[in-house]
Structure 1
Amino acid sequence: MAGLSLSSVVSAQSNDIPYSACPLIGTYYPPPTFSRSSEPFKNLSSEFTETFNQLIEKGGSDVYGPITANTTSFSVVMFIGAESMMEDPTIFEYHYTSPQYQLDMGTNLTSDTKFPVGDVTMVFTVYAWLVEMGETWDTPITQYLPELEKASSSDGVAWKEVTIGSLAGHMSGLIRQTFAKKLTVDPFVFQPDTTPMVSYTAFQLLAFALGRRSGVDGYSIVLKDAILDPLNMTSSGLLNPDMKDIFASMDLSMTQQGEPAALSLTSTITDLARAGNAMLNSRLLPPAATRRWLRHSVDSSNLRNGVGRPWEIYRSGRSAIAPILDARAKSGSMGAHYASYFGLVPDFGVGFAILAHDGGNDRNPLDLNVYADVVSEVLGRLQSMGAAETAARYTGTYRGGSNDYSVAVLNVTSDGPGLAVQELRVDGVDMRADTARQLGISSVADLDFRLYPTNVHEVDSHTHQFVAVFQDRSAPVDAGTPTCITWQEAGAAAGVEYRFVFNLTEDGMAGEFGSSSGGFSLERAA
């Protein structure tokens, strides 16, 4: 390692890493239109049904790994966030009941079968907090539970340093499980806001504060009033000893329940789809609050896995420079027999849930990685569908009048996402050449000029804004290293147009393309 310089690393990488477009994160293509009757979605459903069928038949796969089909029962659902489909947001579901359970119980899993969801409960505790209390992330917990301020603490940590955001985002530094004596003596493992670490105690404190502030006796009532009733989650609630309608309830030990606000929700695939739909379309929260809630907060030691409030952020992408898709998920377990996943992908307005039980597992927690990996393949398919729909809706030639003095040619390409501006002339001026000159790019052939969709669009006037990202294909920063700094440069060049607008027809097809400043407007050629 001695003598290895940064320049030699860059030089080595420049020979190995081809140029790749560097889009603004999460803006690669507009989300595809969701319709159960469309051929792409029919094909998607058919393909994934066959994938799960093959997993069960072969006990796993070389790609995803092994599963225990003889003892593991599971349900999978994918749902969308469209408000128009809030009553039935499901676009794909799959249910499998293991031979062992069928032999023992004689019943099969359905979309209304109840499971304990374990740690997924945390999502609903934070959701209830946002609905009832708002975005009080920076408020100390002592404002709601002042008696904590009088409690002694280890290593000089004061309870007033623990905020609602640190409790909700796994950053409180508190011990994992609640013990009254520990809370008054040495509850802190780390100083708050140091490193992410799961604490069930944190969510129980949120529940205590919710109940006190709401004037309601009991977290279960707060949860019911804030979330379950408004979203018609009629099959969901908190575990109690009298519950007999849980799947394989003979394997459920109430001693595993722990802190109710962290672990004890029971739900169904149907109810989780309703909840996910409501979260994605901001039915119970202001849209701005939803956007902030679903953002990445801090990193874990694996840069592919971030941490949110209380999300586990899973980041997919083929390489260091590649379109990155973030799934906000929460995994859960209840002892060794039950496991769950609940996730949202806001960039596409979709989500998923997995509920599972393994009757032959008594020691190690049930692992859902294989099932989750299959579901994650959908993200790549959705991006491909988005690219295909973008090509149909936006690509082509746009002209200003009957001559070639004003013309734009937009296309999708294999070397990057978005819309590549392959030609742009306005009143005879070559805007690509002019842009390259103003950006100091020596050759217009080296200019990568792409448009990416923003989430600023006027539904009533049928307009959709895109933003331009300019890159120099010959620049070492892009050609040789994984550095990606276009987010710092968008709109930075004075006099270079970087916001563009499409006017859409009633069927969602682009009819006109122009600059947001009104500098030009071109009609799409038939």
Structure 2
Amino acid sequence: MKTSVVYILAALTASVLAQLSPNCPLLGPVFPSATDLARSNAFQDTANNFPRVLDSAFASGLLDNETTSFSISVYSEKRENPLFSYHFASPGLNGSLPSGQLDDDTIYRIGSVTKLLTVYSILAQNGDADFAKPITDYIPELKNVTFKDEIDSVRWSEVTVQSLASHMAGLSRQYSLYDLATLGGEALGLPTLESSSIPSCGVVNNNKGLPTCSQTQLINGLLSQRPLTSTFNTPIYSNSGFALLGWVLERITNKTYQDAVQTLLYEPLNLTRSSIVVPDDTTNIITPYGSDSQFSLDLGGGAAAGAAYSSLADFNRLGRSILSSELLPKALTRRWMKPLTHTSNPLTAVGAPWEILRYNTPVSAKSNTTRLIDIYGKSGDVGLYSSFIGLDVDHGIGFNILVAGNNTTSVRFALAGLITESFLPAAEEAAREEANATFSGTYSFAANGQNANLTLSVDEQPGLKLELEVNGVNFRTLLAEIYGEAYANASLRLYPAGLKDGSKRKMTAVFDPVITGPEYDPFGLSCASWSVVDGLQYGGVGLDEFEVEFGQDKVESVTALGLRITLDRI
């Protein structure tokens, strides 16, 4: 019979547990990331085949093979050299390469990926201590601005550094940049404007010959614009917000924006082919259609939103530094690489300044089951250039895309899709391969009249399959006694907990019951494993807490922490 204690436990948790469905992993990797993807058959097969994937994309017209050049790479935080790189010099862009070749050191403009440099520099200087502070603490010109009403005035006291970094400040997209009033809007049939409504500065060469906007002109321009929405209401992409963040960086470092990024990022990471202004050495650059490429376009006071230049080699070092927390404490990197707001698309979110894609990848090459992997990305566009950096934290890999030519935006996103659909499943399969080689096996304990047997294996589902028997009793019997018959055939899975010390690694078990009933689930509780972790404690330690210890090349023992027993590999 169930004891009163068991009844209490069941009553406290049944409302959530009854909603669980099989194979509901926690957020994050379902296996430890592969230690060396270059040795993975699955990953190397993908890398070897990827040029053929690109050939097919050229043949189908998905990629422009005449007037758009690009450089791409896939890399790991654990290896200095990229796992895959590829350069395509478009035959229709003759004369765009002064050095005569396209390689890892060729300099492109990276556009709005500059925004990532801006936030990274702020974090490298002060961590995220500035994020909650109002922008008025750093730009006093905004402190005494008269507030008129909700529709016509920005409440600058509500605009924080974090709201700017995550596009949640409600500010206009930009001031003057590509404003139709300076680009012959009247010829398009638009009404004539008063001269006071037409920006007197800009960044695009046009028939008005506008000078580049200074910081003061940009601030005054911002003050002339209405808010688009209230703060922290919905993300609205804002170059203006990042112009302000550039000035925050200047105030907290007492340096120019250019010098701050140079000191905080470029020098410690040895990014010798990166700059905020036009590079001094223009030998190995790419300029499709010469000056029409806008390679030398000056963004003036808006530099922090999109002015930077970089090469594929430097892009790789930048991405690896984030994945490995080279410049930031690991806890800060983990906080940084989390969403700050949703979008209306359930598979996209926004960070600071991450553009986050939730990608469904097969959990194994032979399975129809998928799981979500978050890709932390940032895209950029300026002139005839597009760029993208994408980081897959679960597998410790990243990919970079630099594009120049006629169809840069479409080519950039086509390449991002092809890389994601090829290399992320390969990285997942590589982790699965390595987990099978290092974890799978039988482990045993016998002492003081007690005994236990544990088996770990890899199947076609996420995580390690766990079988546990203690003193001749299957662990599911205990779960069923407490939680009900749905647990009599529960799927027991073991996942990385994100904690390790030397040869030891913490693992978390998830107990997924077999549930039958209506599929309608408006609150999304069908995968609520995160809410019941550590739900069964024994002497203050969860029965789902495990620790594994590695030998030279595989796990040698598994400790069931709640049961206080260590089982050795047989």
TM-score tier after normalising by the smaller chain length: 0.7 to 0.9
State how far apart, in whole Å, the 2-side matches of 1:191 and 1:101 are. 45
Residue identity matched to 2:84? F
TM-fit CA distance, 1:198: 1.1
Structure 2 unaligned residues grouped into runs of 5+? 1-19, 176-217, 363-367
2:409 aligned with 1:409, yes or no?
no
1:33-48 matches, cutoff 5 A: 33-48=35-50
Q: Distance in 1 between matches of 2:505 and 2:485?
A: 29
Cα pair 2:319 2:398 within 8 Å, conserved: yes
CA displacement, residues 222-263 of structure 1 (integer Å, 9 cap, x when unaligned): 110111111000000013397745311613225574721011
The alpha carbon displacement at 1:146 in A equals 1.8
Question: With structure 2 as the length reference, what TM-score do the two structures score?
Answer: 0.80
Cα distance in 1, alignment partners of residues 382 and 477 from structure 2: 61
Cα displacement (A) at 1:366: 4.5
Q: Distance in 2 between matches of 1:152 and 1:240?
A: 39
**Residue 266 of structure 1 pairs with residue 309 of structure 2:** yes
CA contact (8 A) 1:20 1:478 kept: no
Q: Secondary structure at the match of 2:228?
A: coil
Q: Secondary structure at the match of 1:302?
A: coil
User: Which residue does 1:430 correspond to in 2?
Assistant: 474
1:338 aligns with 2:385: yes
1:164 is displaced (CA, Å) by 0.6
Match of 1:78 among 74, 77, 81: 74
Q: Distance in 2 between matches of 1:406 and 1:271?
A: 52
Maintained 8 Å contact 2:47/2:84: yes
CA-CA distance at 1:333 after TM superposition: 0.8
Residues 410-464 of structure 1 show CA distances to partners (whole Å, capped at 9, x for unaligned) of: 22222x201122x31123332221122222235622x1111111111112xx111
**Match of 1:238, SS?**
coil
Displacement of 1:405 after TM fit? 4.5
Q: Which residue of 2 aligns with 1:170?
A: 167
Decide whether the 8 Å contact of 1:19 with 1:479 is kept in 2: no
Amino acid at match of 1:266: Y
Q: Which moved more, 1:185-194 or 1:474-483?
A: 474-483
Q: Tell me, in whole angstroms, the C-alpha distance in 2 between the residues paired with 1:512 and 1:241.
A: 55
Q: Normalising by structure 1, what TM-score?
A: 0.86
Q: Distance in 1 between matches of 2:224 and 2:356?
A: 33
1:317 aligns with 2:363: no
Higher relative contact order (CA 8 A, sep 6+): 2
SS of 1:236's partner is: coil
**Shift in alpha-carbon separation, 1:78–1:105, aligned structure 2, 3 A:** closer
Q: CA deviation at 1:19?
A: 5.9
Question: Does the aligned pair in 2 maintain the 1:19–1:473 contact within 8 Å?
Answer: yes
Q: Is 1:368 the counterpart of 2:368 in the alignment? A: no
Q: Which residue of 2 aligns with 1:456?
A: 499
Partner of 2:234: 195
Residues 411, 476 of structure 1: CA spacing in aligned structure 2 closer, same or farther, 3 A cutoff? farther
**In the TM superposition, what is the alpha-carbon distance from 1:89 to its structure 2 partner?**
4.0
> Which residue in the other structure is 1:184 paired with?
223
Residue 70 to residue 366, structure 1, CA distance change in 2 (3 Å): same
Report deviation, 1:395. Answer: 1.5
Deviations 1:35-86 (A, max 9, x none): 5355444323212233223333x144xxxxx12111111111112123xx4x
Q: Which residue number corresponds to residue 434 of structure 2?
A: 389
Which amino acid in structure 1 is aligned with residue 435 of structure 2? T
Q: Deviations over 1:302-341 (max 9, x none)?
A: 1111000000000012699842100000111113x21111
How many angstroms does 1:161 deviate by? Answer: 0.8
- Indicate conservation of the 8 Å contact 1:426/1:520, yes or no: no
Q: In structure 2, which of residues 335, 340, 357 is the aligned counterpart of residue 297 of structure 1? A: 340
Secondary structure of 2:399 counterpart: strand
Equivalent in the alignment of 1:219: 257
Letter in 2 for 1:143: D
TM-superposed deviation, 1:506: 2.1
Stretches of structure 1 lacking an aligned partner (at least 5 in a row): 1-17, 61-65
* Matches for 1:120-131 after TM superposition, within 5 Å: 120-131=113-124
Give 1:174's aligned amino acid. L
Question: Are residue 92 (structure 1) and residue 84 (structure 2) matched?
Answer: yes
Match of 1:466 among 500, 507, 510: 507
Residue of structure 1 equivalent to 2:133: 139
Do residues 500 (structure 1) and 492 (structure 2) align?
no
Distance 1:125 1:104, change over 3 A: closer
Following the alignment from structure 2 to structure 1, what is the Cα–Cα distance between the partners of residues 459 and 248? Answer: 53
2-structure distance, mates of 1:466, 1:226: 36
Distance 2:566 2:327 in 1: 39
SS at match of 2:131: coil
Alpha-carbon distance in 1 for matches of 2:326, 2:412 = 30
CA contact (8 A) 1:81 1:89 kept: no
Q: Secondary structure at the match of 2:125?
A: helix
1-structure distance, mates of 2:429, 2:39: 18
Q: CA RMSD in A?
A: 2.7
2:458 match: secondary structure: strand
Say how many residue pairs are matched: 487
Q: Distance in 2 between matches of 1:465 and 1:180?
A: 51
Which deviates more, 274-283 or 395-404?
395-404
If you compute each CA radius of gyration, which structure gives the higher value, 1 or 2? Answer: 2
C-alpha distance in structure 1 between counterparts of 2:425 and 2:520, whole Å: 25
